[in-house]
Amino acid sequence: MVTSRHTYVVLLGAPGAGKGTQAERLESELGLPHIATGDLFREALKKETPLGLRAKSYMDQGLLVPDDVTVGMVRERLSKPDCAGGALLDGFPRTVEQATALDALLAEAGASVTVVPYIKVSTETLLARLAGRWVCPKCGAVYHMLYKKPANDKICDVCGTALYQRADDTPETQRKRIDVYFQETAPLIEYYASKGLLVEVDGERDIEQVHDDLLAVIRDAMDRAG
Q: Which residues pair with 198 in a beta bridge?
A: 116
CA distances from 183 to 5, 7, 95, 188 (A): 34, 28, 9, 10
What is the closest distance, in whole angstroms, from the C-beta atom of residue 175 to ligand AP5 in the complex?
12
177 is catalytic: yes
Catalytic-role residue among 5, 19, 54, 195: 19
Residue nearest to ligand AP5 (CB): 38
What is the closest distance, in whole angstroms, from the C-beta atom of residue 7 to ligand AP5 in the complex?
20
Instruction: Label the pairing between strands 34-36 and 86-90.
Output: parallel
80 is catalytic: no
What is the closest distance, in whole angstroms, from the C-beta atom of residue 207 to ligand AP5 in the complex?
4
Cα 22 to Cα 214: distance, rounded to the nearest angstrom: 8
Catalytic-role residue among 166, 175, 176, 219: 166
Our CB check for ligand AP5 shows the closer of 5 and 212 to be 212
What is the closest distance, in whole angstroms, from the C-beta atom of residue 141 to ligand AP5 in the complex?
9
Question: Quick check: helix, strand or coil at residue 117?
Answer: strand
Our CB check for ligand AP5 shows the closer of 92 and 221 to be 92
219 is catalytic: no
Q: Is the distance from CB of 20 to CB of 14 less than 8 angstroms?
A: no
Our CB check for ligand AP5 shows the closer of 6 and 129 to be 129
Our CB check for ligand AP5 shows the closer of 216 and 226 to be 216
User: What DSSP assignment string belongs to 134-160?
Assistant: EE-TTT--EEETTTB--SBTTB-TTT-
Q: What is the largest CA-CA distance in the chain?
A: 48
Question: Interhelix angle for 50-61 vs 171-180, to 10°?
Answer: 100
The vertex-168 CA angle with 164 and 172, nearest 5°, equals 125
What is the closest distance, in whole angstroms, from the C-beta atom of residue 5 to ligand AP5 in the complex?
26
Our CB check for ligand AP5 shows the closer of 6 and 177 to be 177
Q: Which residues pair with 201 in a beta bridge?
A: 119
DSSP E strand stretches across 69-125: 86-90, 116-120
Residue 135 gets the label, from left (phi > 0), alpha (psi -120 to 50) or beta, of beta
Binding site for ligand AP5 (CB under 6 A): 13, 15-21, 36-38, 41, 58-59, 62-65, 70, 91-92, 94, 98, 129, 132-133, 142-144, 147-148, 168, 177, 206-207, 210
What residues act catalytically? 19, 94, 133, 166, 177
